Amino acid sequence: MITSAIVAMSTNRVIGKDGDLPWHLPRDMKYFKKVTMGHHVIMGRESFASMGYVPLKGRINIVLTRNPYFITSSAIVFHSIEEALSFAHREKENEAFILGGGIIFAQSCI
């Protein structure tokens, strides 16, 4: 299985601002959707919250959180990047995408 990171980043390494994207790039979003469609996408709870707790359609949404009490019916919840990647691998996923945020990128060493 391939693990990929997909992220828009400014030259000074900014990927988000105040819980949202710091820019609106329609071509970027179209590319993001095309590339991730049908795959497992792994994100942190804060990134999921910034989306209004609404999962990305057409993808298996995996949310990572340290909170043992966090539950949602719209995504699969794990507490470590290792658990999430192991799940994707068991699902016979050929490529899983790390979406962020910064803490999740750091944990995944991508």
pTM value? 0.89
User: Residue 14 — pLDDT band, cuts 50, 70, 90?
Assistant: low
User: Residue 47 — pLDDT band, cuts 50, 70, 90?
Assistant: very high
The pLDDT of 41-64, averaged and rounded, is 95
Backbone angles phi, psi at 50, to 5 degrees: -65, -20
Dump pLDDT digits (tens) for 16-30.
Answer: 677 667 677 789 889
Residue with tokens 């994707």: 88
Other Cβ atoms closer than 10 A to 73 = 6
pLDDT reported for residue 101: 85
Please provide the average confidence, as pLDDT, over all residues in the chain. Answer: 88
Note whether 2 and 85 are within 8 A (CB). no
DSSP 8-state symbol, 91: T
The verdict on domain 2-108 having CATH code 2.30.30.90 is: no
